Amino acid sequence: MHEFAVAQSLVDTATVEARRAGAQRVTVIHCRIGVLRQVNSDLLNEAFSLARQGTLCEAAELRVDKAYVQASCGRCDHAYTVRDWEWRCPKCGAEAAELTGGDELLLVSIEADVADEDQGSEERLST
């Protein structure tokens, strides 16, 4: 189940960044995962619930944006989203020359609560 490896990596990275920023806790982890990664959303959410236990991310919400397959035509240079696995360029009909998206696995941002040392209150950190 590679979903657990993905979830663990997200939690580990967010924890390191939150500690570096002096955060008390992570509230949101926002990522973008391409459909070519074949990550099952239900399994990822379940794995995330397990991976975050006992960390700064224990109460964090996981937000996932799905990235669809993107291609670029070698003939007319048109960039397009591949739909229903149809690789031909919708503009000129040529085969896609290059995939330009859909395989990404990115930690887009984290939101965390950081103590404001001057006022003893918390403020939101967004990275």
pLDDT of residue 124: 52
CB 12 within 8 A of CB 47: no
All structural domains of the chain: 2-126 (3.30.2320.80)
Average pLDDT, the chain: 90
The reply to whether the predicted model has a pTM over 0.85 is no
Distance of alpha carbon 53 from alpha carbon 117, whole angstroms: 27
Instruction: List pLDDT tens digits, range 58-98.
Output: 999 999 999 999 999 999 999 999 988 889 999 999 987 89
pLDDT of residue 119: 47
Model confidence at 114, pLDDT cuts 50, 70, 90, reads confident
Instruction: List pLDDT tens digits, range 41-61.
Output: 999 999 999 999 999 999 999
